[in-house]
Chains A and B, each alone.
Chain A
Amino acid sequence: MSRTLIRGATLVDGTRGDLLLDDGRIAEIGSVTDAAGATVIDADGLLALPGLVDLHTHLREPGFEQSETVLTGSRAAAAGGYTAVFPMANTSPVADTAGVVEQELRLGEDAGYVTVQPIGAVTVGLAGERLAELGAMAASRAKVRVFSDDGLCVWDPLLMRRALEYVKAFDGVIAQHAQEPRLTEGAQMNEGALSGELGLRGWPAVAEEAIIARDALLAEHVGSRLHVCHLSTAGSVEVVRWAKARGIRITAEVTPHHLLLTDDLVASYDARYKVNPPLRTAEDVEALRDALADGTIDIVATDHAPHPAESKECEWDAAANGMVGLESALSVVHEAMVETGRFGWADVARVMSAAPASIGSLAGHGHALEAGAPAELALYDPEVRAEFGVGSLAGRSRNSPYLGSTLPGRVVATFHRGVPTVLDGQVRPADEVAGGARG
C-alpha cells in the first residue's frame, strides 16, 4: 500500500500541517518528521478538504452508457474532489432490486476512483405504483439506505407515506424529487415573466413547494426521515425552515447550478441551460445561498446528469434536462458561497462532505482530517481563477453550463482510500487506480 506525505497543506481551520497517508488512513497530521518511503507532495498554498460526497449523481450505467458509465462518472467525480457518490436509480433496468444495486456497487469497486453507494428506487420501475423491494436492497451487499425515484416525484400521497414508514425498519431515508406532475406537464422553464415572453411552458415554484410541504407533514405524522432533492425556490426554503422549526426530520439539498445560474440564461434557447428543476430567478438564488449559509439547506449535491451531444444540440423543447456538475461543483460553491463571504472552508467541508455522508449513512467518508481517519481527501488550489473548458471535464459527456466561463479554484489532487485518483490536476489512469485500490 502506498505511503504519501502531503507537505504543508492548509487545513479548513486555517492552520498548516503535513498529512501522512498510510494504508488507507491518515497516519499522522501536523508536523510529520518520519516519512520514510513516502511519496512527497508539496501542498504549499493548497487547501486540504475531506473527500467530497455527492448524494445525488447520475452515472447512467446500466442502460445509458453512451452518456456515462460508472467508470467515467467515477473519473468525473475524482476530478471534482469527490471520494464518494450516490448514483440515482433511474438506470435501465431501474435500480429497484438487490441485483441491480449490487451490480452498481461492484462496478464502482472495480473502477476504484470513488465509493459508489447506490440509491434504490422507491417504486418498481419508477412507475409510482407499488413499492420496490426496499428491504432486499437495504439487506444486500450494497446496503442501500437512500431511496429515491429521482427524475420523477413519488406523487401518490399514500405510497409516499408507506415508503417513509417502511424504511424506518433500517433507518433509511426517502429522497424526494419534489415536482407536482399535473402542475408541470410539458414544463420547460421557470414560470415567470420570462417564460411568458419566450413562449416556453412554465414550471411554477408552487409545484415544488406544495410537494415539500405535503411530504414534511407526512414525515412528521409517521416520524420518518425525509430528504428533499435539489430544492430550487425561495418558497421551498421557507417551507423547509418551517418544518425544521417544528422538529420534523427533514434535510434538504441544493445543486451548485441553482446557487449560481438564473433563468435569464434561457433567453438564448441554448439547451445547455435546460435542467429540472429549472433555473430560477436571482431572488431564488439569493434565498438558496442564505438558506445554505444558515443551515436550512443541509448539503450541496450535484445532480450530475450527463447527456450525449445530440440531446442538447436541438430545439429547446426536444432537449434533455440536466447538466454535468461533478467537475465544477467545488468551484461553483467557492464562487457562490465563499467569495460572497457566506462560507468559510469548514462550512464547505460540512455541506459537501460530512453532512451528505451522514444523511446517506455512509461509513468511511465525511470525516474531519485527523489522525486515524480514512484517507479520503482532496487538495484544492483556491487562488487560481481560470476558464472552465472541455479539458476540465473528465466524464463522458460535455453538457456543462460553465464551458467558456471563468471559475475560481482547481482540484489539484484527490485521494480515495489513500490512493491518488487525481494528481497535478490530472485524473490518474484507470489501471493504476484500480490496481492501487485492490492492493
Chain B
Amino acid sequence: MRHLLSTRDLGREQAIELLDIAEDMAAVQQREVRKLPTLRGRTVVNLFFEDSTRTRVSFEAAAKRLSADVITFSAKGSSVSKGESLKDTAQTLQAIGADAVVVRHQASGAPQTLATSGWIDAGVVNAGDGTHEHPTQALLDAFTMRRRLHGDASRGRGLDGARVVIVGDVLHSRVARSNVWLLDALGAEVTLVAPPTLLPVDVSAWPARVGYDLDAAIDSGPDAVMMLRVQAERMHAAFFPNSREYSRTWGLDDARFARLPRTTMVMHPGPMNRGFEIAASAADSAQSTVLEQVANGVSVRMAALYLLLSGEREEAA
C-alpha cells in the first residue's frame, strides 16, 4: 500500500487484510513487551494542521510500538494566507527524511494533494481531512464491530449482513463518509439518520439508506448504532432550531437506548457531547464500544503504518 487516503478506494480484500494485520497487532498489545522492531530506523511524521490530541496520540503510540522514530509537527492554522504553505511544509519533511507522513488537515483533499503533488516521496496516511474522510477511524470502527460480532473467529471475515445505523451530522462528518464506503465494502448494510439540513444534498449514489426518523431506526434493532459528534459551531448556523430540539429528535437518550436490543453496539468516534447526542447511560453501558474503539485505534494504525512502510516498498527496493 503506497498511501492510505480514503476508504472509498479500498477494496474488500485490502480492507480485510488490514483488519487481519490489526488483529496480529492487537495480540502484541496483550504481551508484556508491547513493542515490535518492525519499523526500526524508519521515521514517521505526525503532521497536524488541526488539533486532535486523540488521533495524534493514537498514531504516536502506533508508530512507537513498531519502533519507528516519531516526529510530531504541529502546524495549526498554516495555509498560504496565514504562513507556511502545505508545499513548503512537505518539502521540509522530505528534507528531514520522513518515510511516512500522517496528516490531519482542515481542508478536504489536502492528504491527496500531498500524496500526488510530487513534493514528497513518503507514504501518506490521511488522519482526517476536512469533511472528506477519516479512513483509520472507519477501519477501527469496523475492527471493533467485527470483534464484537465474531470474537476470536474474526480473521478473514467481513461484516456481511451487519446492520449499522449512523446518526447525526453526516454533512460535515468525515467519519460518516469513510464508514459508509468501508462498511459497504465489507458487506454491511448502512442506514444514515440525520436532520435533512445535515445531509449532503444528493446522497442518492451512496450505498446507504437515508432517513430522518431515529425512532424507526432504533426499533429496527440494528447491530450497531454509531452516534456522530455535533460540533458546537453547527448549533448557531441554522442547521437546526436549537440543541434541545436536536437532542430530543436525534439524540440517543435514555428512552431510545432502553429500546435497543441488549446486543446492539453503541459507538461514538469521540469526543462525546454527553447529554446531547448521547446519554451517559448509553455511553457508559456494557453495549458501549467507545473505549474499545480507542484501544483498537492503536492496533489498526499499527497495521496501516506496517502496510505502508514494509512489504511492497522493500520488495521494490
Q: Assess whether A435 is interfacial by the CB under 8 Å rule.
A: no
Q: Would you call B201 and A315 a contact (CB within 8 A)?
A: no
The B-contacting residues of A in range 256-284, CB under 8 angstroms, are: 268-271
Q: CB within 8 Å of B: which of A308-341? A: 310-311, 313-319
Contacting residues, chain B, for A271 (C-beta < 8 A): 113
Asked if A439 is at the interface of the complex by the 8 Å CB criterion, the answer is no
Q: B79 on the interface (CB 8 Å rule)?
A: yes
Smallest beta-carbon distance B113→chain A, Å: 5
Query: Which residues of A in the span 117-142 have a Cβ within 8 Å of any Cβ on B?
Result: none
Is B200 on the interface with A (CB-CB < 8 A)? yes
CB of A191 within 8 A of CB of B87, answer: no
Interface of B is mostly: loop
The distance in angstroms between the C-alpha atoms of A310 and B79, with both chains bound, is 11
Confirm or deny: A247 has a beta carbon within 8 angstroms of a beta carbon on chain B.
no
B residues in contact with A192, CB < 8 Å: 201-202
Interface string of A178-212 (1 = CB under 8 A from B): 00000000001001110111111010100000000
- Contact B202 A198, beta carbon cutoff 8 Å: no
29 A–B contacts from the bound complex (CB under 8 Å): A191-B201, A192-B201, A193-B203, A196-B206, A197-B200, A198-B109, A199-B108, A199-B109, A199-B129, A199-B130, A199-B132, A199-B174, A200-B108, A200-B109, A200-B131, A204-B201, A268-B112, A269-B108, A269-B110, A271-B113, A310-B80, A314-B87, A315-B107, A315-B110, A317-B79, A317-B130, A318-B79, A318-B81, A318-B86
**Binary interface profile of B, 120-148, with partner A (CB < 8 Å = 1, else 0)?**
00000000011111000000000000000
Q: Which residue of B lies closest to A311 (CB)?
A: B80
B285: interface (CB < 8 Å): no
Tell me if B273 is interfacial: C-beta within 8 Å of chain A: no
A197 touches B107 (CB 8 A): no
- Are B204 and A318 in contact (CB-based, < 8 A)? no
Tell me, in angstroms, the Cα distance from A204 to B200 when the chains sit together. 12
- A197–B174 Cα distance when bound, in Å, is 10
Besides A193-B204, A195-B201, A269-B112, 12 other A-B contacts (C-beta < 8 A): A193-B200, A193-B202, A196-B203, A269-B109, A313-B85, A313-B87, A314-B79, A314-B113, A315-B86, A315-B105, A317-B130, A318-B81
Q: Which of A198, A204, A318, A319 contacts B132 (CB 8 A)?
A: A198
The interface on chain B, measured as residues whose beta carbon lies within 8 A of the other chain's beta carbons, has a size of 32
A317 CA / B171 CA spacing, docked (Å): 17
- Chain B residues positioned under 8 Å from A318 (CB to CB): 79-81, 85-86, 107
A269 neighbours in B (Cβ, 8 Å): 108-110, 112-113
Partner of A202, one of B105, B174, B201: B201
Contacts of A200 in B (CB 8 A): 108-109, 130-132
Question: Given that A313-B117, A316-B107 are contacting pairs, would A196 and B202 also be in contact in the complex, using a CB cutoff of 8 Å?
Answer: yes
Residues of B within 8 A of A196 (CB): 171, 200-203, 206
B180 to chain A, nearest CB (A): 9
Nearest 7 A/B pairs, CB to CB: A196-B200, A269-B109, A199-B132, A199-B131, A199-B108, A317-B107, A315-B107
Partner of B113, one of A202, A310, A311, A316: A316
Within 8 A of A (CB), among B72-97: 79-81, 85-87
CA A317 to CA B131, docked complex, whole Å: 12
Measured in the bound complex, the distance between the Cα atoms of B133 and A197 in whole Å is: 9
Given A196-B200, A199-B132, A314:B85 Cβ within 8 A: yes
- Nearest residue (CB) in B for A309 is B87
- At the interface, yes or no: B229 with Cβ under 8 Å from chain A? no
- Evaluate contact between A317 and B87: CB separation under 8 angstroms: no
**Contact, CB under 8 Å: A198 / B85:** no
In the complex, chain A residues whose CB is within 8 Å of the CB of B107? 315-318
Query: How many angstroms between the C-alpha atoms of A314 and B204 in the bound complex?
Result: 31
Residues of B within 8 A of A317 (CB): 79, 106-108, 130
A314, B80: Cβ atoms closer than 8 Å:
yes
Which residues of the other chain, A, contact B206 by a CB distance below 8 angstroms? Answer: 196-197
Q: Which residue of A lies closest to B81 (CB)?
A: A318
Are B86 and A314 in contact (CB-based, < 8 A)?
Answer: yes
In the complex formed, the residue of A with least CB distance to B105 is A315
Chain B 161-198 near chain A by CB (<8 Å), digits 1 or 0: 00000000001001001000000000000000000000
